[in-house]
Amino acid sequence: MAKDGLNLAVIPGDGTGPEVTVEALKVLKAVAAKEGFTYRTTPFDFGGERYLQTGKVLDDEEVAGLKKFDAILLGALGHPKVKPGILEKGILLKLRFDLDQYINLRPVHLFPGVDTPLKDKGPQHINFDVIRENTEDLYAGTGGILRKGTQQEISTQEMITTRFGAERCIRFAFELARTKKKEGKGKGQLTLVHKTNVLTYCGDTWFRTFNEIGEKDYPDITRDYNHVDACCMWFVKSPEFYDTVVVPNLFGDIITDLAAIIQGGLGVAAGGNVNPDKGGVSMFEPMGGSAPKYTGQNVINPIAAIGALAMLLQQTGIKQGHAKLSKAGDRVEAAIKKTTPKMKSQAAGKMGMGTKEVGDLVCEML
């Protein structure tokens, strides 16, 4: 953080993205006043609307321009008039890859008063973190189509694992498990999720890397392994078993949606695309999409976006060694936990109050 404060890039994006971003920024303003730090925000209009008007998705210069910020807050991307894939690949995935945000950090914590579809489970049971690798695997985009449109069409898409990519992700996960244990927030357990019984090459690299690093550098952390299909069952049956989970990109995409629904759904689930390296720029986002049908009606739940802000403050604070930011992040998280019990539901249109009122309430609870 520079002398003139936290320097944030804001990408409100499409649909309900701008509405929830406004609430997150409202909370930022309030918490900055309370904790005594200054900040600046610079908005960027990347998204479906700009694409439809100008044909521009996101170019290298624009990505380079984002590198001078301390962090990025993203609302949502996705426009009903834009073909699926263009904005996702052209903006979201491009940012993750070009800014080398190799960690997708997904806290799965059931907040007080939030309904889970899991019978007899409460906040004490649903309280873990998923670390998803964010730059490799089937997302790397290698492969192609031959003889397209003919009966002989052939397409391939390859699962890419590098030792380097698996290792940096696994190390981040072990570190998180250790920190949580030290802070009394976890039992010191890391679960690797893969499919080593079928994916005998990529799975092997992950499995060996996980065990080598764990044995050598993290003997204090218990190692555990789940096949991804079994993990889907266990998340539902015994979520309380999990502490920290590390998983490659595509499996991580899938299990974190499952995790999002058990923590109360897309209204509350937030995530971070983190580049933990010095000088790296991370991006935080609510997990939900742009929800076009709810746009502009003051009915969408901003808790996930406010949660993304809390993560942004916590992670930027940790990375830059700014205790005030970390404290501000914790404060926002605590305020969210005091707000959710006052809401009727976390679903859009059923909260018992509007988007703006939820934002106001979080500010009050700070």
| Of 172 and 251, CB closest to ligand IPM | 251
Residue among 88, 167, 330, 357 that touches ligand IPM (CB under 6 A): 88
> What is the size of the binding site for ligand IPM (CB under 6 A)?
4
| Of 88 and 330, CB closest to Mn ion | 88
Contacted entry of Mn ion, ligand IPM, none for residue 175, CB cut-off 5 to 8 Å set by kind: none
Q: Is 88 in the site for Mn ion (CB under 5 A)?
A: no
What are the CB-based long-range contacts (under 8 Å, 24+) for 94-98? 94/57, 94/58, 94/63, 95/58, 95/63, 95/66, 95/273, 95/283, 96/134, 96/135, 96/273, 96/283, 97/135, 98/60, 98/63
| Of 93 and 193, CB closest to ligand IPM | 93
d(CA 76, CA 296): 14
Q: Is 259 in the site for ligand IPM (CB under 6 A)?
A: no
User: Binding marks (x or -) toward Mn ion, 205..244, rule CB under 5 A?
Assistant: ----------------------------------------
* Residue closest to ligand IPM, measured at CB: 88
d(CA 307, CA 106): 11
- Of 121, 362, 131, nearest to 261 by C-alpha is 121
Q: Is 253 in the site for ligand IPM (CB under 6 A)?
A: yes
Q: Which segment (85-93, 295-303, 331-339, 343-351) binds ligand IPM by CB under 6 A? A: 85-93
- Residue keyed to tokens 């990109």: 249
Q: Residue 221 CB, nearest distance to ligand IPM (Å)?
A: 26
Total Cβ atoms within 10 A of residue 26: 18
Q: Is 98 in the site for ligand IPM (CB under 6 A)?
A: no
- Residue keyed to tokens 């993290």: 218
Strand ranges inside the chain, DSSP E:
6-13, 39-43, 71-76, 103-109, 127-133, 143-146, 154-157, 189-194, 222-227, 244-247, 270-274, 282-286
Residue among 88, 167, 224, 253 that touches Mn ion (CB under 5 A): 253
Q: Residue 92 CB, nearest distance to ligand IPM (Å)?
A: 5
Contacted entry of Mn ion, ligand IPM, none for residue 343, CB cut-off 5 to 8 Å set by kind: none
Q: Is 92 in the site for ligand IPM (CB under 6 A)?
A: yes
272 and 305 Cβ atoms separated by less than 8 Å: no
Chain residues binding ligand IPM by CB under 6 A are 88, 92-93, 253
Chain residues binding Mn ion by CB under 5 A are 253
